Structure 1
Amino acid sequence: MTLSPTSTAQEIIDRLRLLGSEENIAGMARFGIATEAALGLSNVELGRMSRQVKTDHARALELWRSGIREARILAAFTADPKALTLNEARRWAGDCNSWEVVDTLADLLVGARHDRALVPEFAADEREFVRRLAFAMIATAAVHLKTEPHSTFLAWLPLIEAHAADDRNFVKKAVNWALRQIGKRNAACHAPALALAEKLAASADRAARWTGRDAVRELSGSKVLWRLGLAV
């Protein structure tokens, strides 16, 4: 079966099932990926498949509704950012049960520029993967939104500080990721991000302290300082 832009959601799912690998599923589990609904295809394979089937928003909605890990990642790859509504984004966020689906979805939501509305909303949500999505969006935006003013990212630093004490693994790592990516964005963002990292590193809270120390280590490193023109 050769996939094409006219392939239906069911044809794509049938292809996913055909290519599935039990061995790969076992490997995914070792990386903390939820495998209950996984077929065992890598994101590289799914990226290749997304280029074959192209963008189709209606079909992406069908793929997501299947609940299959690979179909959901393909849905995020092939949904139309211009067509994705806020309510669709909220529903997809609420369905997430694995960090790598969250991080793939973050790319789509930033492309749709839903980060502006959903970052604070999702950060306030107590669900682990919804909150992770807020900070994954910040990290993704810091890398990919090249023309966005640095004030956008500095305005998110208080949100990072507010949730740095969330010790749930997938939230903690995303908060840390967001802080590091803001600090590495440019020289204007570096100093405020590093200052927050140093503040968190001195915190009495273990999760906040871990986030701060890890961020300080990277943001103070010669590689980052050289790239930003801050090395002495």
Structure 2
Amino acid sequence: MEDKMFTGFGTGNFSETEAGGTKKETIEYLYKISSDKFKNNVVKMGIPEENSIGVSTKDIRKLAKKIGVSQSLSNELWATGYHEAKLLSVLIADISMINFAYIDRLMKDVASWDLCDHICKNLIVKMPNYEHLIFEWCDDSRTYYKRAAYCLIATTVVHNKNLATETIDKYLYLIKSYADEDRPHVKKAISWALREIGKKDFCCQEKAIILAHEFCESSSRNLAWIGKDALRELETLVSVKERSRLITSNSKMGKQD
């Protein structure tokens, strides 16, 4: 049931002085729609219990749409330290007010893969000239900076329909050069980036499969894991007329083709 103090959210943007617009009211509402189930899920990701409220990402997205853009509230929510408040903070941030120094401050606070991906997908890829971060972070010693580099590759390949072959080849080179990684959240992001490259078209699929097989034949356990994980999807890709990108033949749409 919707909280009365959020009844003004239907209009989109609002000032912090309006109903439901304060940090205190927002946190209270998050607690109201929280559950032990989702709190346990957050804690399992490694977020301290005291920093978890227990709200699903789906509900956080719904709330963000009601709030609209509010950079001042975004800043206040991030500063609370609550995981869910940080996710919401990213979703309501004003991209026109964000620079790379701001992104770096956020990244230093990241302690989970989902928050890392939220920042990449909802903020970084909307910034002009963000691509340099891929090359800066691809071999970063910090877990979520390095994951971010490959999350950005995956997101860029999906959304940039006019990505040059030269750029794709550079991404494949980065994957080949820095994929020997034992941290699970980084390994999974590298596999993800490789799979998304392979879905671009049949030429990219072939390049991705060749690299994945090269990883499988490596003496490195980490590379072998990434190669096998990527191949499970790469080798099933097909073209369907409803999609511009390749999809797995194991999907409902792929089976119908």
Q: Would the TM-score normalized by the shorter structure come out above 0.5?
A: yes
Match of 2:206 among 170, 177, 191: 191
Match of 2:144 among 129, 136, 149: 129
Give the 5 Å matches for 1:82-231: 82-107=96-121, 108-113=123-128, 115-221=130-236, 224-227=237-240, 228=246
Alpha-carbon distance in structure 2 between the residues aligned to 1:115 and 1:216: 29
Q: Which residue does the alignment assign to 1:76?
A: 90
Amino acid at match of 2:156: A
CA–CA distance in 2 between the matches of 1:173 and 1:113?
Answer: 27
Cα deviation, 1:24-56, whole Å, max 9, x if unaligned, reads: 2113344x3525311000000001001000112
**What CA distance in whole angstroms lies between the structure 1 residues aligned with 2:73 and 2:167?**
33
| In 1: Cα distance, 2:22 partner to 2:164 partner | 40
Deviation of the 1:16 alpha carbon: 1.5
Higher mean C-alpha deviation, range 81-90 or range 6-15: 6-15
- Is the contact made by 1:122 and 1:133 (CA closer than 8 Å) also made in structure 2? yes
Shift >4 Å, 4+ stretches:
none
TM-score norm. by structure 1 comes to: 0.89
Report which of the two structures shows the higher radius of gyration computed on alpha carbons: 2
Task: Name the structure 2 match of 1:58.
Answer: 72
Q: Which residue of 1 aligns with 2:17?
A: none
What is the RMSD of the two structures over their aligned residues, measured on CA atoms? Answer: 2.1
Higher relative contact order (CA 8 A, sep 6+): 1
> For 1:12 and 1:144, how far apart are their aligned partners in 2?
32
Q: Match of 1:185, SS?
A: coil
Percent identity over the alignment?
A: 30
| Structure 1: runs of 5 or more not aligned | none
Secondary structure in structure 2 of the residue aligned to 1:118? helix
Match of 2:252 in 1: none
Letter in 2 for 1:82: S
Q: How many residue pairs get matched?
A: 227
TM-score (norm 2): 0.81
Write the mapping of 1:2-17 to structure 2, written as runs, cut at 5 A. Answer: 2=6, 4=9, 5-6=13-14, 7-17=21-31
Gap change, CA 1:162 and 1:14, over 3 Å in 2: same
